């Protein structure tokens, strides 16, 4: 039995753009965000307070947060204490921290081992919770790691358990390099639902092998009703070898619409947002629903 209503967490302005080599003007990012809001998006990852040396594209995080109209829940990513401080200063109310299950991935992405990252985040999360901040924990490499291969479910559960004991409100569990299949998706998300009945759980699929839509359907069957997706299918982690875009918001919403599952999001208006950002990104946008929109 499938959920009747789902929430889409739009990650285009963050995951979508972080991997883009051309620096996109802040005003063009803001126009993209506004168009996504107009399409009905109620939850969105706006930007990241990461090191601008590591990810120059996210160097305008403060301006993005300050100049975005406050609608719904707006996340910013933060890897550490410094990022959390910068996010709070900019007025962020919802913060996403991120750690992968795999040590090798974490070394590449945040220059820390898993334990080092978790030990450093514990007091940061405690402060954020005391400040009334909504905290999302993004769990990378929950299925496969580009450096270590297959990841065991028990290791994912263990990392999630540590985050839950620190008081996070949500787990966003990611197939960073798009290698999972629908059985793996169903089994992990079912286990997560049973193990953590009191936290929100979102599924974050990259679409490297065009399996993301099938994996989302499997996660729906496991009872998941929150999905991260990116308008235009943009995205990818610059420090995960072989990562490509996220599953496209327009394609996910289209599938959910045809299943009679409510999202509150207008597919055509998502395509209008894609049209706004398309001239500013270097990769071709070839998602199913966007192609249809362009040929109309
Ligand atoms: P480091 O070099 O080890 O940092 O990088 P450090 O702590 O040694 O500090 C070095 C310098 O950076 C210092 O400045 C710090 O102040 C500064 P200096 O004294 O040299 O002038 N610094 C910062 N500046 C701004 N904001 C900060 C910050 N922290 C330190 N937050 C660090 C460690 C974590 C900072 C770096 O590795 C980093 O920024 N990594 C981010 C990588 C990233 O953005 N990855 C993509 C997001 S995760 C993702 O996409 C996966 C996800 O989508 C799920 C999935 O699909 O799997 C969420
Ligand atoms: Mg991602």
Whether 145 is catalytic: no
Nearest one of 200, 190, 131 to 164, comparing CA atoms: 200
Distance CA 42, CA 46 (A): 12
ipTM: 0.98
Residue 90 CA to ligand 2 center (angstroms) comes to: 23
Ligand 1 atom nearest 96 alpha carbon: 58
Residue 73 clears pLDDT 90, i.e. is over it: yes
Nearest one of 256, 232, 234, 255 to 243, comparing CA atoms: 234
Distance CA 14, CA 45 (A): 6
Contact 206, 236 (CB under 8 A): yes
Neighbours of 36 (CB within 10 A): 26
Ligand 1: residue of 19, 20, 47, 51 to mutate (most ligand atoms within 8 A of CB) is: 51
Q: Which residues line ligand 1 (CB under 6 A)?
A: 15, 18, 48-51, 54-55, 77, 79-80, 82-83, 86, 98, 109-111, 138, 140, 174, 176, 204, 206, 237, 239
Angle at CA 173, nearest 5°, toward 67 and 82? Answer: 45
Residue 48 CA to ligand 1 center (angstroms) comes to: 9
Entry pTM: 0.98
Indicate which residue of 138, 145, 160, 237 is catalytic.
237
Please write the tens of the pLDDT for every residue from 201-247: 999 999 999 999 999 999 999 999 999 999 999 999 999 987 899 99
Residue 296 clears pLDDT 90, i.e. is over it: no
């Amino acid at each position: 039995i499938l959920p009747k209503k789902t929430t889409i967490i739009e990650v285009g302005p963050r995951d979508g753009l972080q991997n883009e080599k051309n620096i996109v003007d802040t005003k063009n990012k803001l126009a993209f965000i506004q168009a996504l809001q107009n399409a009905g998006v109620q939850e969105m990852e706006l930007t990241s307070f990461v090191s601008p040396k590591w990810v120059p594209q996210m160097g305008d995080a403060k301006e993005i947060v300050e100049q975005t109209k406050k609608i719904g829940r707006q996340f910013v990513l933060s890897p550490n204490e410094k990022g959390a401080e910068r996010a709070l200063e900019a007025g962020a109310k919802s913060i996403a921290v991120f750690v992968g299950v795999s040590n090798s991935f974490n070394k590449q992405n945040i220059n820390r081992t898993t334990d080092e990252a978790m030990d450093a985040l514990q007091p940061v999360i405690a402060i954020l919770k005391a400040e009334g901040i909504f905290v999302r924990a993004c769990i990378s490499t929950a299925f496969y790691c580009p450096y270590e291969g297959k990841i065991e479910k028990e290791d994912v559960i263990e990392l999630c358990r540590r985050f839950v004991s620190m008081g996070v409100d949500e787990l966003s569990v990611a197939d960073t390099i798009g290698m999972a299949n629908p059985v793996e998706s169903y089994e992990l998300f079912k286990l997560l639902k049973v193990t953590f009945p009191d936290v929100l759980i979102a599924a974050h699929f990259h679409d490297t092998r065009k399996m993301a839509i099938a994996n989302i359907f499997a996660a729906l069957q496991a009872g998941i009703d929150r999905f991260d997706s990116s308008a235009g299918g943009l995205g990818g982690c610059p420090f995960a070898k072989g990562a490509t875009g996220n599953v496209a918001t327009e394609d996910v919403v289209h599938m959910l619409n045809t299943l009679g599952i409510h999202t509150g999001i207008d597919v055509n208006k998502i395509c209008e947002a894609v049209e706004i950002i398309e001239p500013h990104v270097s990769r071709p946008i070839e998602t199913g629903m966007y192609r249809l929109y362009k040929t109309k």
